[in-house]
Amino acid sequence: MGILPHTDVEKALDLALSLDIPFWPQLPRVSYFEDMYVQALEHFPGVLIDPTQQRILFDLSKFYEEVPAYLEREQYPQTFRLTEAFSLVYHRFLGKDLSHYPAIRGQMISPISLGLKVVDENQKPIIYHDEVKEILFDFIRKKVNQQYRELRKKHPNAFVWMDDPGLGLIFTAFSGYNEAQAKTDLDQFLLELEGPRGIHLCARPDWDFLLRSRLDILSFDSFSCGAVIVNYASMKEFLDRGGVVSWGIVPTTTELLEQETVDSLVALLEKLWEDLVQRGVRKEKLLRQSLLAPATCNLMNADKEKTVERSFHILKELSGLIRRKYDLI
């Protein structure tokens, strides 16, 4: 949930900084270069960004031509650093005093989603090219680690999670990138990340796939699919080994949010928690290993940023109520 619909950078940052654990927002309506797919591809061989047409172009021949020069540059941190041209917001965030927060968060698109989204000149996803995939996974790993090091300088409790909106595609008949290969690739990728390993997604994959991976933090739309995931035995296993769940409990779609109140959302959240308690998860452990968040990103509301801002306000009210009820303050 790193994407916000705002066109005002400072207003978006103020909203992100209003949370207990702030994040640097991605603002694709400010610039095409703030798009999460575009941001990740800065300095990737074979890529051309067309901001006029808002397209990512990838040419396989150009990739092979540029790989030797890229390999010479990969020893330098600036190759993997988010520049101001690709994220003004990130650099504004780094310029803030973040020391008084309990933690701070960054994000990066996952190599799986990126590799399925970006296609070559023949409309073939680049993840289907073994040589491209190998460099892509290593490239994103280094970008995540570079971001983590920079955030860590601002706060000792920094973490960066992967946005993985395309992960659900690998479980459909439309994907030529199968689940077994993805599991192997993802586990190796997570193993080489520095800091806590997290994934955020709004898709609905096979949850065992994620819960039994090397994840430390799982963020998902619990408003829409929480009733499904709590029934997985692997959810209890994930919590038992210390995994943290970010419950995306407050909807950001105008029509859905208008149907809810703080009390109704608390009731939904507590029902999910009670189902886990019934399955043997200790309530104290569950509370200690839970974060609360908006359910999803949203750029489609007719009222632009108003519903999203209201969602964040309700989230803070809900969090305060839960803290008081369970004596977490």
pTM of the model: 0.94
Tokens found for residue 160? 């960066």
Task: Give the per-residue pLDDT at 180.
Answer: 82
- HSE-CB of 299 using CA atoms within 13 angstroms: 14
Other CB atoms closer than 10 Å to residue 314's CB: what's the count?
A: 19
- Rounded CA-CA distance 114/44 in Å is 12
The string of DSSP letters for 14-40 reads HHHTTSSS-BPPB-TTT-GGGSHHHHH
pLDDT (tens place) for every residue of the chain, 329 residues total: 789 999 999 999 999 999 999 999 999 999 999 999 999 999 999 999 999 999 999 999 999 999 999 999 999 999 999 999 999 999 999 999 999 999 999 999 999 999 999 999 999 999 999 999 999 999 999 999 999 999 999 999 999 999 998 887 777 656 677 788 888 999 999 999 999 999 998 777 778 888 998 999 999 999 999 999 999 999 999 999 999 999 999 999 999 999 999 999 999 999 999 999 999 999 999 999 999 999 998 999 999 999 999 999 999 999 999 999 999 87
Q: Are 3 and 36 in contact (CB under 8 A)?
A: yes
Structure tokens at 299: 């750029």
**Residue-level pLDDT at 272:** 97
Tell me the C-alpha distance between 144 and 82, whole Å: 10
Residue 317's Cα: distance from chain center in Å? 23
Q: How far is CA 213 from CA 209, 248, 262, in A?
A: 6, 20, 33
The predicted pLDDT at position 201 comes to 87
Burial group, residue 104, by CB count within 10 angstroms (0-12, 13-18, 19+): buried
- Taking alpha carbons only, the member of 43, 44, 11 closest to residue 27 is 11
